[in-house]
Amino acid sequence: MIPFSLKHMELINLLLYITLFILPLAICKFPFLKSKKRLPPSPPGALPIIGHLRLLSTPLHRILQAISTNSNQYAHYMLLKLSARNLLVLSSAKAVEECFHKNDVALANCPRSIAADYNSYDYTAMGMANHGPLWCNLRRITATEIFSSSSLQESSSIRHDAVRCLLRDLYRSTTTTNKGTQKIDLKLKFFELTFNVMMSMFTGEPIGDGLRHTEEYKWFFELLRNAHVPSLFMAPGDYLPIFKYFYVFKVEKSLAAMSIKRDACFKEIIERCRKKYNEGKKSKPILDVFSLQQADSEQYNDLIIKGMILMMFTAGTDTSAMTLEWTMSLLLNHSKTLIRPWIFDEVGITSEISKISLGSKLVSENLQPCLVKGKTISGVEN
């Protein structure tokens, strides 16, 4: 046996590094090494290894819109190569209908990420669960139990109280200053509005200064305000796996600490709701789930309930607050469309709000930043 010298080891390492460098370039260069699948058109500018990652920045929906409008070739579909992942961007209503109506099951999975690993309760939350029996069951529960028309009608008084509380705070802010004017962070106010609604629905406590001034409320408010952001982004390590070895430990440490704190909050909420349920009290919407848990404790365990609470707080606070923020921005930038007298005279009540065509247009416009993420289960033929 010939012993390896130091020079031999250096030569082997050099050949290994050269191979690791040339292999990705060869895959990008030679067509016969690429996949034979028929893919949508892709814009130019993709670099080896990183692909189109260099083209992306914030706000993401504006960047994607700008790229897709550069050519009629991307009028419906556009494929971005983001290193180890491919991103399909839908740029028309026709494409959205084809993907989420005709091929909705094939695109129903949720992409995995570092942040989602710590913000999905083992991917049992409805917004993170893959298509299957669990997802179908969660969808049925939310549609028939939690967000049914009767449940929403019963909780309408909570939303009215929260809006009155917001208007009272705004009035106090403008009347307690000498000049009568003051800068107000509406983004924070809208998040507080939606958070108050969710807290009152879960705890059964009326919205007011008594609830908002408690230490538990303040701690939970700040925790959820900061906890929602990581669940919505994908870090560089999700696209370039090699980045995981450089900084993932710091990211995972932060996400793990946040997950532990949030889990403690949700555990406290579950214990309070379970106590009220055992006492015979009724408080929408989560108490209905405990009746299901008694019938089937394995299928509706505390992990599933925590995933439901996470989904409701995320959709009920962060997403709703962002929609309100963008709506207010559009109204202030187009002041001529302010039609409050007509709304009070012609509409008046919540059940007839569909008469306002402007409202549906605002909602459609403001949901553009709320990009829907999906992962293919199987191939889709066009």
Q: What is the CATH number of the domain that holds 218?
A: 1.10.630.10
Residue 176's SS3 state is coil
Same domain, residue pair 159 and 301: yes
Tokens of 52: 């189109």
Judged by DSSP in three states, 375 sits in strand
Residue 161, class by beta-carbon neighbours within 10 Å (0-12 exposed, 13-18 middle, 19+ buried)?
middle
By three-state DSSP, how is residue 214 classified?
A: coil
Q: Do residue 73 and residue 197 come from a single domain?
A: no
- Give the residue from 102, 122, 153 where a domain finishes: 102
Answer whether 67's CB lies under 8 Å from 78's CB.
yes
Share of the chain above pLDDT 70, in %: 62
Q: What does the DSSP 8-state code read for residue 206?
A: P
d(CA 295, CA 285): 18
Both structure tokens of 38: 């028929």
Three-state SS at 88 = strand
Q: Determine, yes or no, domain membership for 253.
A: yes
Average pLDDT of span 197-219: 70
Task: Specify the residue for token string 């033929």.
Answer: 381
Q: Is the pLDDT of residue 232 over 50?
A: no
DSSP label at residue 373: P
Asked if residue 91 and residue 184 are part of one domain, the reply reads no
Of the ranges 22-36, 95-109, 274-288, which is most confident? Answer: 95-109
Out of 61, 80, 102, pick the residue that ends a domain.
102
How far, in Å, CA of 174 to CA of 172, rounded? 5
Residue at 303 is within a domain: yes
Residues in the chain: 382
For residues 62 and 184, membership in a common domain is answered with: no
From 11-25, 63-77, 79-93, the region with the lowest mean pLDDT: 11-25
Token look-up 């990009």 returns: 371
User: What was the pLDDT predicted at 151?
Assistant: 76
- Would you say residue 375 lies in a domain? no
Q: Are residues 143 and 282 in the same domain?
A: yes
Q: Do 95 and 143 fall into the same domain? A: no
Q: Quick one: average pLDDT of 65-94?
A: 81
Residue-averaged pLDDT of the chain:
73
Does 33 fall in a domain? no
- Structural domain range at position 296: 133-366
Query: DSSP state, 101?
Result: I
pLDDT of residue 239 exceeding 80, the answer is no
Residues 74 and 217 in one domain: no
* pLDDT, tens only, 337-358: 655 655 555 555 555 556 666 6
Could you tell me if 269 and 185 lie in one domain? yes
Q: What is the pLDDT of residue 5?
A: 47
Q: Is there a domain that residue 194 lies in?
A: yes
How many domains in the chain? Answer: 2
Q: 22 in a domain, yes or no?
A: no
Residue 6 has pLDDT above 50, yes or no: no
pLDDT of residue 309: 82
With b for 16 or more beta-carbon neighbours within 10 A and e for fewer, the 164-203 pattern comes to ebbeebeeeeeeeeeeeeeeeebeebbbbbbbbbbbbbbb
For residue 382, is pLDDT > 50? yes
- pLDDT value of position 4: 41
Q: Does the pLDDT value for residue 209 go beyond 70?
A: no
Tokens of 89: 């961007």
26 within domain boundaries: no
List of E strands, the chain:
77-82, 85-90
**Same structural domain for residues 297 and 338?**
yes
Is position 17 within any domain? no
Are both 92 and 157 inside the same structural domain? Answer: no
Same domain? For 182 and 325 the reply is yes
Query: HSE (CB half, 13 Å, CA atoms) of 203?
Result: 18
Evaluate if residue 256 carries a pLDDT over 70. yes
Q: Look at 50-54, 115-119, 276-280 and tell me which has the smallest mean pLDDT.
A: 276-280
- If asked whether residues 210 and 77 sit together in one domain, one would say no
pLDDT at residue 2, as a whole number? 39
